[in-house]
């Protein structure tokens, strides 16, 4: 409840009580909003991880045959001087391809 202040600038006892009550209510509301924000941020992070996972599963590179990936990796390792370990660190499938092909070493 907002009332006009006294002419001397001091608050009456009622105005002081009202302001203190408003402060308590606003602090509680702020804490609730902060908890909700933290929960929402956690949920957003979880959704992003799930989205990235599923996008990765349907990525076009996952449909390339083993032989094609092996040739791409060979070019990377020989012509671009890239380490097979870098390729092997990308995902399980690439690690299997790298370690199954001595031509990459």
- Output the tens digit of pLDDT for each of the chain's 105 residues: 455 556 678 999 999 999 999 999 999 999 999 999 999 999 999 999 999 999 988 999 889 999 999 999 999 888 877 789 999 999 899 999 999 998 887
Q: Are residues 68 and 53 in the same domain?
A: no
User: What is the distance between the alpha carbons of residues 101 and 105, in angstroms, rounded to a whole number?
Assistant: 8
Domain of 69 in residue numbering reads as: 60-104
Q: Are residues 65 and 53 in the same domain?
A: no
Residues 95, 89: contact at Cβ < 8 Å? Answer: yes
Total count of residues recorded for the chain = 105
Helix, strand, coil in percent for the chain, rounding step 5? 75, 0, 25
User: What is the distance between the alpha carbons of residues 15 and 2, in angstroms, rounded to a whole number?
Assistant: 8
pTM for this entry: 0.58
Residues 12, 6: contact at Cβ < 8 Å? Answer: yes
Split into its structural domains, the chain has a count of: 2
Please tell me whether residue 11 adopts helix, strand or coil conformation.
Answer: coil
Q: What is the pLDDT of residue 83?
A: 86
Q: What is the pLDDT of residue 2?
A: 53
User: What is the distance between the alpha carbons of residues 59 and 52, in angstroms, rounded to a whole number?
Assistant: 10
Q: What is the pLDDT of residue 35?
A: 98
Q: Are residues 71 and 24 in the same domain?
A: no
């Amino acid at each position: 409840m907002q009332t006009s202040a006294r002419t001397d600038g001091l608050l009456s006892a009622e105005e002081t009580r009202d302001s203190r009550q408003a402060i308590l209510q606003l602090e509680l509301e702020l804490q609730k909003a902060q908890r909700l924000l933290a929960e929402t941020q956690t949920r957003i992070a979880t959704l992003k991880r799930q989205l990235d996972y599923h996008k990765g599963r349907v990525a076009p590179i996952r449909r390339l045959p083993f032989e094609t990936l092996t040739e791409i990796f060979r070019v990377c390792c020989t012509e671009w001087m890239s380490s097979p370990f870098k390729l092997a660190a990308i995902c399980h499938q690439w690690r299997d391809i790298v370690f199954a092909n001595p031509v990459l070493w």
